[in-house]
Structure 1
Amino acid sequence: MAPPRKKTTLGFPVFAVTWTPSRHRVAIGGGGGPTKAGVKNAMILYDVDPNTLDVKPVTEQLFGKKDDGCMSIAVHPKEKAFIAGVNCPEEQMKAGQNENCRVFFLKNKVFTAKGAHKTLDSTDPFFHQKISRFTEDGKLLVTGNTDGKLSIWTWPDFKPAIPPIDHKGEIVDADFSPDGKQLVSVTANICYVTNVSNAKTLWSIEKPVMKKTIKSEFRASRFGVRASEGYLFLVINAKDRKRAFICKWQVKGWKLHRQKAIGSKPVTAFTISKTGELLAFGAADLSVNVISAKGLQTIYRIPNVHDFPLTALDFDPTGQILVSGSADGTVHVALVPPASGNLYIIPIILILLFITGLLTYLAMLEDDNGEL
């Protein structure tokens, strides 16, 4: 039986979904960009009711009609600070004045702008800041762009921690290790693990080929945390769009621990729970899927969640609620089963063992006494 779930129409394409450290509150970003009249560009904070799965807006930050949509959001783990990747109007981009990394603080349920920074050098409005993510201690922020530029910034002074790195290809994902000392970043063709202190490449893989013959592309990357710390998860799509895989690597020694085919359609979005026990992905077949981080077994699959493929998804801090978004203008909220499906079976087994033991004991009494 599928877990309780609910879909809500927001009215604008969704490109970013990020939970705040506060339980039951999620930031959602997106928009129609400068070309779609009447479709707002915004970052909106919602409360999520864990009982009804309703989403209720708390506050919103609207961007200009000539701005791009909000393409990425990072929420600081300790402060009420929000980073939004939003391109300025095209004329500002072409003039080299695109302060696309917007900083906001939340106070009294209102977003207040606290500055904007330039992380994107390109003057082409086609490019944008796709990735924004803090370290667990909140001292560093990574931004990754579709023009291939990867930057690491100190917080809160927003100074370069290392010189920018050119990946020479669209950065599709990036993530810090739990201690903040390493950064994994992927383009379609290459995966890098970088030493954050000196920008040196510690490990890399180029042009992945699965099952020895299936030419593939990287799609997502996450370091394991807490229950899965010490591992790196890589999502890989076949170029023929007929299969998707997940690979689990041991960080120590960079040895492949396990790999598994996880679908017959490409993965479009991927995340890991804050407990490190669960992985979730959205696929081009419009489904949402949750698998265990330990053994990569499927926990559950919900088909046809959105009308368009998922663009973003994220677990709440407890790992009990999963929210996904799509360019169809909807968000989907689902309660998440435990990491181990066996948890459902254990109580039944205990009851059966109790009944079996009781019947055996009663049978022994009958044999001893001839009657009960």
Structure 2
Amino acid sequence: MAGGSVELDASAAAGGGKVACAAWIRRREEKGPARVFAAYGRAGPRPAIEVLGFDSKECTLNPVPLARAVLGEGPADAPRGIAVHPAGDELVCATAKGCRLFKLIFEDFTVRIIPRDASPLESVGPQKCLTFSTDGTKFAIGGEDGHLRIFRWPSMNVLLDEPKAHRSFLDMDISLDSEFLVSTSLDGSARIWKIDEGAPLVNLTRLPEEKIELCRFSRDGMKPFLFCTVAKDTKVVTVVWDISDWKRIGYKKLLGKPISTLSVSMDGKYLALGSRDGDFCAVDVKKMEVCHWSKKIHLGSPVSSIEFCPTERAVISTSRQWGAELTKLDVPADWKEWQLWLVLLALFLASAVLFYIFYERSDSFWKLPSGQHQPSKPWSVLKESPPVPEDQTPW
């Protein structure tokens, strides 16, 4: 199955350059529903960060950026990855030099991108992975040199600084409760870190010929699982670990080809796997079955990233050759909150109608005589009580 896909790279107002990375911005509002935007990192002669508006009804992005911030003038300033704070008001962009921090200010129909000082991040060198915890209190980066850094946010206090965490990072993720971090290396190893203790906890077990490549924790809050793609020769499967004891509980062959990126939806219901030849699929986590397939969405180029939209069943995928694509997933629509309330109201009204029907058609003990035929005195007084003489009438 393949959903509608829209190429998002051509925009005269964008200042040129391919989209090298992308992420969603979910802006939480005090009143009304959350507003959703997209953040683009564009390479080219003048690398830049852009913010675009998202139309949830049409499931499209406005091609004209709402805001743009130039990163520099050369290839060393080209964006390599983007991480957006869960509150939607800060953004970190990785370059060959290090990481840049930006403040996002939303005012009615305008957006401003303001650079902020981030001294501990600016000279860390090229980073392969960067991610915020779900609650936004922790931020982690993993470098091409294998250096792992975990910070408390927004104070930037260091929780863990391990120069030799891996030979070189491949992927990382933080658990839903912000307690654990999982990281994988180019050599096929994977390690679990206890964040608050700032120390490694366990190495995931694997056979000598296996390589653990990509990793994501579950997000539904009910099943404490860890999903990893494991390669053995030319075969790739998705393996599930139980994070209570870090033991394998099963595996499934899903995409059936080498996988270049892995992502999980915000509600934990879907996984997305991108291949090295430009395909990607969405997987129903409950059934562990493919429910959407888009072939050659990036025309043979490896999918470098996939990000689920926080409010709609859509994804942004990127590749270095073809830029960004927005794809609406062919999956069952989710129930809206108003639909759930409507069902509850219908059930209540149906129950009331059934009660009324049963009441009217049943021989009820409580059907007492009414109107003029109803005696005004108890039957015992009418039938048994003798008349009272006038001289004995009680006062």
The TM-score normalised by the length of structure 2 is 0.73
1:243 maps to 235
CA deviation vs aligned residue, 1:157-183 (integer Å, no higher than 9, x gap)? 212112335223221111111111111
Post-superposition shift, 1:64? 1.1
| Alignment correspondent of 2:169 | 171
Runs (5+) with no aligned partner, structure 2: 11-15, 28-34, 335-395
Is contact 1:119-1:143 (8 Å) kept?
no
- Counterpart of 2:72, as a letter, is G
Partner of 1:200: 199
Residues 1-372 of structure 1 mapped to structure 2, 5 A cutoff: 1-10=1-10, 11-22=16-27, 23-32=35-44, 38=45, 40-50=46-56, 51=58, 53-56=60-63, 57-66=65-74, 67-88=76-97, 100-107=98-105, 108=107, 109-119=111-121, 128-188=126-186, 189-205=188-204, 208=207, 215-226=209-220, 229-238=223-232, 240=233, 242-307=234-299, 308-338=301-331
Cα deviation per residue 1:314-363 (whole Å; 9 max; x = unaligned)? Answer: 0011351111011124211111233699xxxxxxxxxxxxxxxxxxxxxx
CA shift digits 1:247-288 (9 cap, x unpaired): 111111222222112234311111000010000011012101
Between the aligned partners of 1:4 and 1:13, the Cα distance in structure 2 is: 21
Unmatched tracts of structure 1, length 5 or more: 33-37, 89-99, 210-214, 342-372
Letter paired with 1:254 = W
Matched with 1:360 is: none
Q: Is the 8 A contact 2:160 2:199 kept in 1?
A: no
1:13–1:31 CA contact under 8 A, matched in 2: yes
Question: Residues 284 and 153 (structure 1 numbering): CA distance in 2 closer, same or farther, change over 3 Å?
Answer: same
Kindly tell me: are residues 258 and 20 of structure 1, through their superposed partners in 2, closer, same or farther at Cα, counting changes over 3 Å?
A: same
1:248, 1:272 → 2: CA distance? 13
CA distance in 2, matches of 1:266, 1:117: 38
1:243–1:28 CA distance, 2 compared to 1 (3 A)? farther
User: SS at the partner of 1:166?
Assistant: coil
Identical-residue share of aligned pairs (%):
22
Change in Cα spacing, 1:268 to 1:237, as seen in structure 2 (3 Å) is: same
**Residue 134 (structure 1) shift:** 1.0
Q: CA deviation at 1:55?
A: 3.8
Tell me how many residue pairs correspond in the alignment.
Answer: 313
TM-score calculated relative to the size of structure 1: 0.77
Q: Is the 8 A contact 1:229 1:276 kept in 2?
A: no
Q: CA deviation at 1:131?
A: 1.4
| C-alpha deviation, 1:234, in angstroms | 0.5
Q: CA RMSD in A?
A: 2.4
How far apart are the structure 2 equivalents of 1:271 and 1:260? 16
Q: Matches of 1:54 and 1:121 in 2, distance apart?
A: 33
Letter in 1 for 2:231: N
Q: Kindly name which structure, 1 or 2, has the bigger radius of gyration based on alpha carbons.
A: 2
CA distance in 2: counterparts of 1:26 and 1:266, whole angstroms: 28
User: Cα distance 1:340–1:12, how it changes in 2: closer, same or farther (>3 A)?
Assistant: same
